[in-house]
Amino acid sequence: MTMRAAVLTKFATPLELADLARPVPGPGQVLVKIAASGVNPLDTKIRAGLAAHARAALPAVLGLDMAGTVEGIGPGTTGFTPGDAVYGLSGGVGDLQGSLAQYAASDARLLAHKPATLTMREAAALPLSVVTAWEGLVDRAKVGPGHKVLVHGGAGGIGHVAVQIARARGAEVFATASAANAAVVRELGATAIDYATTQVQEYVAAHTGGEGFDIVFDTVGGAVLDDSFTAVRIYTGHVLSALGWGSHSLAPLSFRGATYSGVFTLLPMLTGHGREHHGEILREAAALADAGLLKPLLDPRRYTLDTVAQAHAAVENGSAHAKIVVDIEV
């Protein structure tokens, strides 16, 4: 039996549609009929050959995020039955098949039951962003009531999820955004800060009395991480970054006596260690979604495997103002 898939045969070239053998679930795996595939900036960077850390081995089926229906169960696999609606960050890096295909044999530890209140498209928009935000805010920083949290890039893919998770756990949230995205941030329940017109010292003074934020989550990288080091609270503050890959001076952070954590969401997928925790996070996120506390922002445009190149282009050229999702089942 075969399936359609979008395949990358050479970096920096378009994805090619091909008929591949339908995978068979092995021990600990489930066969998922994929309904929707979320498109992240990382997907486009992998395709362009600009993400060596993702270790994609060619030829590759890309696509990190997915939602779909369990069709088969591998030997020794527990927790799922055929017909279950699931979602997860389950492939598209290393040697793991991605979600731009009609089927995938996925490690069951990387999956969770889909939030009942979300569509397949909405569920497919969440996994990478949810796992990244959760690992930073909850696992590293223990976000909770009484915390003032600053999210850099609060209207972005990771940022808008981070805002919702922090608020759901009782924190007061502030988020940097452009003037055009300020309304989006406010609708999510955060105080918007215009990064283009407000200096770090100004918003630290205005919102924390000069003390700094308890938690600063950088989802942008570069100079924004440097700003984070000066925006964090003295002694007890914690800076998180999902893009801390450059060279930065730690002096501003050290002089404040604060701490830093990097978040590398792909590590369990690449190494096999800690995959169970991805499933745990997704189960927690599903509960938040079903309680009305977490909902992804979706771009209204519709794409399929036939138009996946347009979906990638929308992410690359900046025309996407929310998460792009590719419909796999048609």
- Is residue 329 scored above 80 in pLDDT? no
What is the set of domains in the chain, with CATH numbers? 2-126+268-327 (3.90.180.10), 129-262 (3.40.50.720)
- Is residue 320 scored above 90 in pLDDT? no
Q: What is the mean pLDDT of residues 180-205?
A: 97
| pLDDT (0 to 100) of residue 24 | 97
C-alpha separations of 172 from 72, 115, 150, 164, 230 in Å: 43, 25, 9, 11, 19
The model's pTM is 0.97
For the stretch 293-315, pLDDT in tens is 999 999 999 999 999 999 999 99
Give the C-alpha separation, 94 to 55, whole Å. 5
| pLDDT (0 to 100) of residue 139 | 98
Judge whether 260 and 251 are in contact, CB under 8 Å: no
Tokens of 220: 């942008």
- Is residue 330 scored above 60 in pLDDT? no
Tokens of 45: 């960077």
For the stretch 78-136, pLDDT in tens is 999 999 999 999 999 999 999 999 999 999 999 999 999 999 999 999 999 999 999 99
Preceding amide of 59 cis, omega within 30: yes
| pLDDT (0 to 100) of residue 318 | 86
| pLDDT (0 to 100) of residue 321 | 82
SS (H, E, C) the chain: CEEEEEEECCCCCCCEEEEEECCCCCCCEEEEEEEEEEECHHHHHHHHCCCHHHCCCCCEECCCEEEEEEEEECCCCCCCCCCCEEEEECCCCCCCCCCCECEEEEEHHHEEECCCCCCHHHHHCCHHHHHHHHHHHHHHCCCCCCCEEEEECCCCCCHHHHHHHHHHCCCEEEEEECHHHHHHHHHCCCEEEECCCCCHHHHHHHHHCCCCECEEEECCCCHHHHHHHHHECCCCCEEEECCCCCCCCCHHHHHCCCEEEECCCCHHHHHCCCHHHHHHHHHHHHHHHHCCCCCCCECCCCEEHHHHHHHHHHHHCCCCCCEEEEECCC
| pLDDT (0 to 100) of residue 323 | 96
- Is residue 185 scored above 90 in pLDDT? yes
For the stretch 6-25, pLDDT in tens is 999 999 999 999 999 999 99
| pLDDT (0 to 100) of residue 104 | 98
For the stretch 214-248, pLDDT in tens is 999 999 999 999 999 999 999 999 999 999 989 99
| pLDDT (0 to 100) of residue 224 | 96
Give the C-alpha separation, 130 to 103, whole Å. 23
